[in-house]
């Protein structure tokens, strides 16, 4: 099946309309007519070749929401599986081995045999995956999520990456009542981190480059908001947080942020800059602190996050754009000028 898409032809090149081939619907597959695709900063890192060599052309997009239009013969018809007409989502991965210890544990994103990314990855049939800036996608049913009623499709799309990427570490490190959580960077991931940590009952602080978005941050659920450009922030907040989730797409001064952790606290990097980061081990030793990383979340956890969002009335704050504005949206994300996720209206790809 040939479908319309937007692709980057080579590293750093603007995206342009194209057509791509989608595989036939196999026995375990679901064909999805895409309605919305979020723009994640990882799409931009990929298109710009920040993370090293990879195949081009690439159709980015791993925050996909759409409607099921066909299912394979082995995809069950009982409630809980995917049926024609269902509203569904696809995130950052479309397959994994299914039998390694991590897959069996529900951590498909850490598959020991390598999970298959939604784009720029080698699929199990040897083809290169292409993502959600497209009208249709065919995905293994086990990697398709149910979008609960009550969340608007455009607001749901970013949950598939920005939502789960912040939900998973917040849950893992126990964000909840009595915990002080800081979110560094109020972009796509950061604004979801604030909403989710607040809904979990934690006391939430935003650490942003400036106070420009303070009003928004407080409206999204933050209890406090500080500018990291102000050196007083780091003295005032020293030793304060149980958990800091760093969503910044560029390198940070790790030691400065570690100094904001209470004894036993953790600084968790979800931001994925190309450059290596360094730290002074005394920043850890001096407070039994941890510096960790986290990548998206497993499939069951992603469903749990979607259900949590529906229960708490949470969606992303989005600016829906036609596909021909994707390059402009990339420029604005790079300039930290996003409030708080661009989402492509896939109908404009046709
Ligand atoms: P985004 O919307 O661009 O948000 C990043 C925010 O970081 C910006 O809004 C800005 O917030 C802050 N920032 C940007 N440049 C900065 C700089 N030079 N110094 C200090 N702060 C800066 O990006 P996103 O889509 O949320 O993604 C953020 C990062 O997470 C990217 O590196 C992405 O690849 C990565 N990511 C990782 C995973 C994972 O599984 N670990 C999943 C998705 C994305 P303020 O304006 O508030 O300062
Ligand atoms: Zn992403």
Q: CB within 8 A of 143, min separation 6: which ones?
A: 90, 91, 93, 94, 95, 108, 299
Residue 272 beta carbon below 6 angstroms from any ligand 1 atom = yes
Centroid of ligand 2 to alpha carbon of 165 (angstroms): 8
pLDDT (0 to 100) of residue 126 = 93
Q: How many whole angstroms from 229 Cα to the centroid of ligand 1?
A: 16
Ligand 1: residue whose CA is nearest its atom 16: 250
Helix and strand numbers, DSSP H then E, in the chain = 11, 17
pLDDT of residue 93: 98
> What would the DSSP string read from start to end of 33-87?
EEEEEE--HHHHHHHTTTTS---SSB-----EEEEEEEE-TTS--SBTB--TT-E
What are 151's two structure tokens?
């969340």
Cα distances (Å, whole numbers) of residue 350 to 17, 54, 345: 10, 27, 10
Rounded to two decimals, the pTM is: 0.98
pLDDT value of residue 77: 63
CB distance 37 to ligand 1 below 6 Å: no
How many angstroms separate the alpha carbon of residue 104 from the centre of ligand 1?
Answer: 31
With a 6 Å cutoff on the Cβ, whether 270 touches ligand 1 is yes
Residue 24 Cα to ligand 1 midpoint, Å, equals 36
Atom of ligand 1 nearest to the CA of 212: 46
Give the integer Cα–Cα distance in Å for 40 and 90.
Answer: 14
Nearest CA to ligand 1 atom 4: 187
Which residue lies with its CA nearest to atom 11 of ligand 1? 185
* Tokens coding 190: 């950061």
The tens-digit pLDDT sequence of the chain (350 residues) is: 999 999 999 999 999 999 999 999 999 999 999 999 999 999 999 999 999 999 999 999 999 999 999 999 999 766 568 999 999 999 999 999 999 999 999 999 999 999 999 999 999 889 999 999 999 999 999 999 999 999 999 999 999 999 999 999 999 999 999 999 999 999 999 999 999 999 999 999 999 999 999 999 999 999 999 999 999 999 999 999 999 999 999 999 999 999 999 999 999 999 999 999 999 999 999 999 999 999 999 999 999 999 999 999 999 999 999 999 999 999 999 999 999 999 999 999 99
Distance 39 CA to ligand 2 centre (A): 8
Same topology, domains 2-161+297-349 and 166-293? Answer is no
Is 2-161+297-349 a CATH 3.40.50.300 domain?
no
pLDDT, position 124 = 86
Instruction: Tell how far the Cα of 334 is from the centroid of ligand 2, in angstroms.
Output: 14
Domain ranges of the chain: 2-161+297-349, 166-293
Q: Does ligand 1 lie within 6 Å of residue 248's CB atom? A: yes
Residue 269 CA: which ligand 1 atom is closest? 41
Q: Which residue's alpha carbon is nearest to atom 13 within ligand 1? A: 248
Ligand 2: distance of its center to the CA of 159 in Å? 9
CATH topology of domain 166-293: Rossmann fold (3.40.50)
Is the CB of residue 155 below 6 angstroms from any atom belonging to ligand 1? no
Q: What is the pLDDT of residue 142?
A: 96
CA distance 4 to 17: 7
User: Among all ligands shown, which has an atom nearest to the Cα of 46?
Assistant: 1
């Amino acid at each position: 099946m040939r479908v319309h898409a937007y692709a980057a032809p080579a590293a750093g090149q603007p995206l342009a309309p194209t057509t791509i081939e989608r595989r036939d619907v196999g026995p375990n597959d679901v064909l999805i007519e895409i309605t919305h695709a979020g723009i994640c900063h990882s799409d931009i890192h990929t298109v710009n070749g920040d993370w090293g060599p990879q195949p081009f052309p690439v159709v980015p997009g791993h925050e996909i929401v759409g409607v099921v239009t066909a299912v394979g013969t082995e995809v069950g018809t009982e409630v809980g599986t995917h049926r024609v007409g269902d509203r569904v989502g696809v995130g950052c991965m479309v397959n994994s081995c299914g039998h390694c210890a991590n897959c069996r544990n529900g951590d498909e994103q850490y598959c020991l045999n390598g999970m298959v990314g939604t784009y720029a990855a080698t699929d199990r049939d040897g083809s290169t995956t292409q993502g959600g800036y497209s009208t249709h996608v065919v995905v293994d049913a086990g990697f398709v999520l149910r979008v609960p009623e009550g969340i608007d499709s455009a607001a749901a799309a970013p949950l598939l990456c920005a939502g789960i990427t912040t939900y998973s570490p917040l849950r893992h490190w126990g964000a909840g009542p009595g915990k002080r959580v800081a979110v560094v960077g109020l972009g796509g991931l950061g604004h979801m981190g604030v909403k989710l940590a607040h809904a979990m009952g934690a006391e939430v602080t935003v650490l942003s480059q400036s106070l420009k978005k303070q009003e928004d941050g407080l409206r999204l659920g933050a209890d406090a908001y500080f500018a990291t450009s102000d050196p007083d922030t780091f003295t005032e907040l020293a030793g304060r947080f149980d958990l800091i989730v760093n969503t910044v797409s560029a390198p940070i001064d790790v030691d400065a942020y570690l100094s904001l952790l209470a004894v036993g606290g953790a600084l968790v990097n979800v931001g994925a800059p190309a450059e290596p980061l360094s730290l002074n081990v005394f920043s850890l030793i001096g407070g039994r602190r941890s510096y960790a990383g986290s990548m998206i979340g497993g499939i069951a956890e992603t469903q749990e996050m979607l259900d949590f969002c529906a229960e708490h009335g949470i969606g992303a704050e989005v600016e829906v754009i036609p596909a021909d504005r994707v390059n402009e949206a990339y420029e604005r994300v790079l300039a930290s000028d996003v409030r708080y996720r661009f989402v492509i209206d896939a109908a404009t790809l046709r």
